[in-house]
Structure 1
Amino acid sequence: MTVSSPRDGVTDVLAGSAPVTGQEPAHVIVDSPLMVPLTRSVSWADAHRLSQTPVRHDDSDSDGDHHRIAVIRSTATIRRGTRMMKVLSGRQAAGYLRGWSPVGFCHREYDIAHLRTPADLALLRTDGEVGRDGTDLVYALRWRAIDACDYDTPVGAAYQGLVAMPPRDRIGPPVLGTGFTPSEHHLIPEFVTTGCTDVPLSANAALLAYTPDGAEVVLYTYQPEQRGWIRMAGPQWRHLLDGIPDVSSDQEYLRTGDQPQSTQLVGTYQGRHYEAVADPPHEFRILAMTRAARYPVESLARRLRLSTWRGATCQVLRQESGWSRLRLCHPTPETVATLGAQCYERGIYEVWAPTVEITDNGPTDLPYEL
């Protein structure tokens, strides 16, 4: 069990502010800070205003503003091993304990380390329940990025559908198209998993709780060999689990063999394919209970299933009784209305479809460079 104090968040930001020299120890990942060039003609208030102004690609009069905010946003990047964060409600935390994979909008830990209390972190929630669940806690998922290709900056034509989504069809704050989270005071770069598809959990991912005094408590850590979440919170912190519905504070959560996975990490060793484990930035190995069998893989890929239904590209989440559960990869107001998709969190739209009507591409392997 790990508890850190509010001051640790500030220390984390300062510790990562040094430039990348290429001489850092192998286990240290130094993320690039967000750089905001200020001049006499462009103040901090101007930069913040641009970050909060929705981008419409048919607005040619603001091309210069779009370029300026795009230059600022491009300085926040993801590297292999970058620690990512997704702020959760209790309901979402329960979902991850039961097998969900990271998906949708998320942030670099580097960019939000100064936000430590539930009140501070509330603006990053994606469930639309802020202020309605009555909790004085907030939960979060922390994992390490396997590769930058798993994440997009939500800008450009591919995400104009989310920018244009009407309030009745969305949950959580609007997508601005600038690559920044809506905020009255902060400049926080946001990311989204590529195509709104699931990404695999890395080894030692953590489910966290943040208390009103700003303490960070590690509740569970993910151990891929056990295929589950190992409880880390001691007796004095078990009350923090009360905000997670239908979760017992005295048990751990292991995946059973019949639970479907929407995404899987696969690797090759001596010409054969195996389920793999990612322990970024440098360790990628075969999934095995015994240490002697954890051979390093020769190639690595993320495996998922993609399909097309009524012209929309979707990820196949599961199939049962002639129906397929689909998630829209690039939702737009038109496809949401046509398909009858429902929004389950910010940017995530899902729908059931008759399996006979979809064009199933089968397992698709998206390779990583090792």
Structure 2
Amino acid sequence: MTVIGEDSQLGTDPLEPPLMAPLRRDLTWQQVQSMSQSAVHRDDPTLRRIRETALIRRGTRMTKILSPAQVAGHLGGWLPYGFCYRSCDLAHLTQPEQLNLLRTDGAVDGQVAFALRWRATDPTDYELPAEPAQPGLAVLPAHSRIGAMVLGTGFTPSTDDLIPEYVTASFADLPIPANAQLMAHIPGGDEVVLYTYQPEQHGWLRLAGPRWRGLLDELPGVSPDREYVPCTASGTARLVGTIDGKEYEAVADPPGEFRVRALTRAARYPVRTLSRRAEQALWRGVSCWVLQRDDTWARLRLLRPEVDSIGVTGARCYERGVYEAWAPIDELTDHHIADIAYQI
């Protein structure tokens, strides 16, 4: 995270533009940080302009801080979803106790901080956990949420830092791109790459050697001896591309490569169009993602959690901002496949 003067010029990675604030005598760092933590300033035009400088571009590195159980879930096939951050905004947080404050499961303990890191396939996959995209998050009562409250300013709760936060668009599962990494941040500030994602094989390749076996031992149900961990879940969303009008399952390798998913390299042709495909439905008038279903029941996730929709569906909070419920399949209406197109 970088806060600089209004007229300053800074050489930066174009994929990770810095957060910028026009600090002046009448607008100090302390004032900006205080504004970011107050619901009174949710609609403040100055704070909104500052927040809008924290852009996500195709290829921007994204990070989600995980619990050990969530790491095991991603090794099994979970996709990125929910609250996340630009990696550059967390670069100054190097100690596990600092990063664990950003976990989404409500816990902050642990001598190691785990994380999923990936590159954004498209900026449209992310939105602010605030109005207009998510107006209900900031007013949810404490008894119905997990983790830190959502301020509605676009910044995470903090007494010292100014950290922009994001959610995946409508809390969608996002197809995981090539070369995503499962990380561990250890005391002393070092980070260890534990696994890297292999999209063609739909599995994770272990990179951590014997020195880091103790880190892998913390992951429930994961054997530290396995060099390759195949995903057992197929994923609730996938990328679809076309070549000459014919449709193929696709792989994203941001910022610039989008190809046919194929085991042989010779068949990994670049696609001409690209879209994200997932199931949606209405249940009791509430828009939901369909995560699982069989002949009788469907597991749903609310697109826009708010007090009324949670009450109508009886949805339960599973992690910060993520509300899910089970519904009889015959009660779903407008059940359809949603295609979200990208410009490539």
Offset of residue 82 of structure 1? 0.4
Structure showing the higher helix proportion among its residues: 1
- Aligned residues of 1:19 and 1:32 also touching (Cα < 8 A): no
**Matching residue of 2:292:** 318
- Aligned residues of 1:305 and 1:360 also touching (Cα < 8 A): no
Alignment partner of 1:141: what SS? strand
Report the TM-score when normalising by structure 1: 0.88
Give, in whole Å, the separation in 2 of the partners of 1:170 and 1:242: 30
- Pair 1:216-2:191 in alignment: yes
> 1:191 and 1:233, CA in 2 relative to 1: closer, same or farther beyond 3 A?
same
Amino acid at match of 1:359: T
- Pair 1:48-2:33 in alignment: yes
1:83-128 CA-partner distances (Å, limit 9, x unpaired): 0000001011111001010001100011101111111102211110
- Pair 1:179-2:154 in alignment: yes
**Matching residue of 2:91:** 113
- Pair 1:123-2:87 in alignment: no
**Matching residue of 1:247:** 222
Alignment partner of 1:160: what SS? coil
Give, in whole Å, the separation in 2 of the partners of 1:201 and 1:128: 24
Amino acid at match of 2:96: P
Offset of residue 29 of structure 1? 4.7
- Pair 1:145-2:123 in alignment: no
- Aligned residues of 1:54 and 1:178 also touching (Cα < 8 A): yes
Give, in whole Å, the separation in 2 of the partners of 1:351 and 1:260: 20
Q: Given the alignment, which residue of 305, 327, 334 partners 1:353?
A: 327
1:187-266, aligned counterparts within 5 Å?
Answer: 187-251=162-226, 252-256=228-232, 259-266=233-240
Q: Given the alignment, which residue of 241, 256, 263 partners 1:282?
A: 256
Structure 1 residue ranges, 4+ long, deviating more than 2 angstroms after superposition? 17-20
Amino acid at match of 2:166: F
Give, in whole Å, the separation in 1 of the partners of 2:136 and 2:85: 21
Alignment partner of 2:39: what SS? coil
Offset of residue 130 of structure 1? 1.5
Q: Which moved more, 1:157-166 or 1:351-360?
A: 157-166
- Aligned residues of 1:127 and 1:171 also touching (Cα < 8 A): yes
Alignment partner of 2:161: what SS? coil
Equivalent pairs counted in the alignment come to 337
**Matching residue of 1:32:** 17
Identity within the alignment, %: 52
**Matching residue of 2:143:** 168
1:284-316 CA-partner distances (Å, limit 9, x unpaired): 000001111000001000001111111111000
Give, in whole Å, the separation in 1 of the partners of 2:276 and 2:132: 25
Report the TM-score when normalising by structure 2: 0.94
Give, in whole Å, the separation in 1 of the partners of 2:157 and 2:274: 35
Q: Give the CA RMSD over aligned residues.
A: 1.7
**Matching residue of 2:274:** 300
Give, in whole Å, the separation in 1 of the partners of 2:334 and 2:208: 42
1:323-362 CA-partner distances (Å, limit 9, x unpaired): 0000000010121122111101100000000010011432
Q: Which moved more, 1:355-364 or 1:270-279?
A: 355-364
Give, in whole Å, the separation in 1 of the partners of 2:127 and 2:204: 27
- Pair 1:73-2:76 in alignment: no
- Aligned residues of 1:267 and 1:275 also touching (Cα < 8 A): yes
Give, in whole Å, the separation in 2 of the partners of 1:286 and 1:82: 22
Q: Structure 2: which 5+ runs fail to align?
A: 3-8
Offset of residue 19 of structure 1? 4.2
